[in-house]
Amino acid sequence: MRVFRDEELKYSQNFLYNKNLVNKLVKISNLDVNDIVIEIGAGKGIITEILSKNVSKVIAFEKDNVLFKRLKLNLQDIENVELLNEDILKYNFSKNSDYKIFSNIPFNITTDIISRILSIDIKPTDMFLIMQKETANRFIGNPYSKESLKSILLKMFYDIKIIYRFNRTDFKPVPSVDIVFVHFSINSKLEISDINLFKDFASYLFMLNENTIKTKLKRLFTYNQIKNISKQININNKITKLTFENWLYLLEVFKTKASISSKQLIKGYYDKYIKVQSRLEKIYRSRK
């Protein structure tokens, strides 16, 4: 029998090793025996095995070939686990009409996974993700951090909160950053017909190189419209100070009051944002 060595692993990850802790995490989630659960980065299979005892089916992804071979050996007798040696970013989520995600994802692809979830039509009803605290704060925004375009777009679909804080020693190897367990609970706050409009609207305003909300709004609204908006929100702040409720208000004003030319101006801006982010990610990874 071949002995697999950790130094052979291609995709770096910090693993939970305490089964009692994993049981605790599953218990504080809202998983039940009828759930189909996707696990991203199954690793050594500790989470996979415990999930299999609590849900209807586990679809476990492991891209690393060494870990995948271990998983096949260790979990071969568990009938409700489907193991896939595939890239989750290329997975067709529409195969599942109702599913949840529970995962200790490799930290270097957290942003890619969240972006992928935002891009698909059939989203998980719940996500339970083990994440770096700093990354989680950026995705959650208020009250943990400033709002960003990512946090605002996520809030279109999910209520997000930290439900558990780990000790660094809960993982092997021990990470150099703080780790948290985050619950994303689906709660769509927009009509389906408004989602693409909101993506373009928010992306346009965030990408404008202007200092204040007021100077950004001047590109889309008339003087009188901005004057009325200023009665509801502080437009002299930076855009990161806007709450999600402020954004919903602005969207409604834009839908009902903005000119046709303004509505044409923002078209396609979400796609532009995605392209910019993709280029930045490539530059960042090439420098690592």
CATH number at residue 109: 3.40.50.150
38 and 160 belong to one structural domain: yes
Q: What percent of the chain has pLDDT over 90?
A: 79
29 and 74 belong to one structural domain: yes
In a domain, residue 1? The reply is no
Last residue of a domain, one of 119, 151, 186: 186
Q: What whole-number distance in Å separates Cα of residue 152 and Cα of residue 149?
A: 5
222 and 142 belong to one structural domain: no
Q: What pLDDT digit, counting tens, does each position of 187-198 carry?
A: 888 888 899 999
Greater model confidence, 285 or 126: 126
Total domain count, the chain = 2
Q: What pLDDT digit, counting tens, does each position of 27-70 carry?
A: 999 899 999 999 999 998 999 999 999 999 999 999 999 999 99
Which parts of 168-268 fold into alpha helices (H)? 192-207, 213-217, 223-229, 244-257, 260-265
pLDDT of residue 3: 34
In a domain, residue 39? The reply is yes
Grade residue 285 by pLDDT with cuts at 50, 70 and 90: low
Mean predicted confidence (pLDDT) in 79-103:
93
Domain residue limits at 163: 6-186
Mean predicted confidence (pLDDT) in 121-140:
95
Which burial class, exposed, middle or buried, applies to 205 when counting CB atoms under 10 A from its CB (0-12, 13-18, 19+)? buried
β-strand 179-186 against 126-132: which pairing, if any? Answer: antiparallel
**The dihedral formed by the CA atoms of 163, 168, 174 and 175, expressed in degrees to the nearest 10:** 70
179 and 209 belong to one structural domain: no
Q: Residue 200 has which token pair? A: 């373009």
pLDDT of residue 287: 56
Q: 16 pLDDT exceeds 50?
A: yes
176 and 201 belong to one structural domain: no
In a domain, residue 35? The reply is yes
pLDDT of residue 271: 92
Q: Are 136 and 182 in contact (CB under 8 A)?
A: yes
Q: What pLDDT digit, counting tens, does each position of 174-229 carry?
A: 999 999 999 999 988 888 889 999 999 999 999 999 889 999 999 999 999 999 99
**Mean pLDDT in the chain?**
91
Q: What pLDDT digit, counting tens, does each position of 73-87 carry?
A: 999 999 999 999 999
Last residue of a domain, one of 165, 186, 207: 186
